Amino acid sequence: MPLGVCTVTKMTDEEWQNLYENFETTLLLGAVDHIDNLRQHLGDGENWEPPQIRTDLLKLHQLAMDVVNNGRTDKAQDFFDLANDLDMQIFDITEELKAVQNTIDKLLDLYPESLT
């Protein structure tokens, strides 16, 4: 094909009907809501401060150095409490991303053969 020439591939009427009957576009708006929920975990703070989860992971590392490497067992409670808090946050993040992935998978399951 010469440069500058573009061909447009079009789905068939049957493929469109299948897409129309099997995919609800509002699912994509739900995916946007899930991404918005992630912003509270992963978005920058005021004055371009890094996300709190990053700060918490660095704090967990410091506590790990204290407890694991230096035997500071008096900090073990803080260490495991923070690890538990991070685990819950990461679980929430994972669930939000799974919901977005499920939406995109539903759409891609309907990928028209004529477009491949």
pLDDT at 43: 87
- Digit-coded pLDDT (tens) for 26-84: 999 999 999 999 998 898 888 888 999 999 999 999 999 999 999 999 999 999 999 99
Query: CA-to-CA distance for 84 and 64, rounded, in angstroms?
Result: 13
79 — phi, psi (to 5°)?
A: -60, -50
pLDDT at 116: 86
66 contacts: CB under 8 Å, gap ≥ 6: 72, 75, 79
Q: What type of residue sits at position 50? A: P
Query: CA-to-CA distance for 109 and 72, rounded, in angstroms?
Result: 53
Q: Are 45 and 51 in contact (CB under 8 A)?
A: yes
Structure tokens at 89: 């946050």
